[in-house]
Amino acid sequence: MQRVAVVDYGGSNLRSVAKAVETAADGAHEVIVTDDHALLRSSDRVVFPGQGAIGDCMQRLREHDLVGVLQECLRTRPFFGICLGLQSLMQHSDEDGGTACLGAFAGQVRRFRADAGPGPDGTPRKIPHMGWNEVHWTREHPVTTGVPSGTRFYFVHSYYVVPGDEGLTLGRTHYIDTFTAAIASGPVFATQFHPEKSAAAGLQLLRNFLNWKP
Of the candidate ranges 55-64, 122-131, 143-152, 200-209, the one whose mean pLDDT is the lowest: 122-131
Give the model's pLDDT for residue 7. 96
Domain hosting 198: range is 2-211
CB-based contacts of 43, cutoff 8 Å, min separation 6: 3, 4, 5, 32, 73, 77
What's the pTM?
0.96
Q: pLDDT band for position 14 (50/70/90)?
A: confident
Catalytic residue among 29, 129, 157, 194: 194
Give the model's pLDDT for residue 12. 66
Q: Measure the CA–CA gap between 46 and 6, rounded to whole angstroms.
A: 6
Catalytic residue among 83, 95, 101, 129: 83
Q: pLDDT band for position 116 (50/70/90)?
A: confident
Catalytic residue among 95, 129, 157, 196: 196
If one counts the domains in the chain, the total is: 1
Cβ(101)–Cβ(55) below 8 Å: no
pLDDT digits (tens, 9 = 90+) for 54-94: 999 999 999 999 999 999 999 999 999 999 999 999 999 99
Q: pLDDT band for position 123 (50/70/90)?
A: confident
pLDDT digits (tens, 9 = 90+) for 21-60: 999 999 999 999 999 999 999 999 999 998 889 999 999 9
Give the model's pLDDT for residue 121. 77
101 is catalytic: no
83 is catalytic: yes
Give the model's pLDDT for residue 124. 74
CATH number at residue 97: 3.40.50.880
Percent of the chain with pLDDT over 90: 88
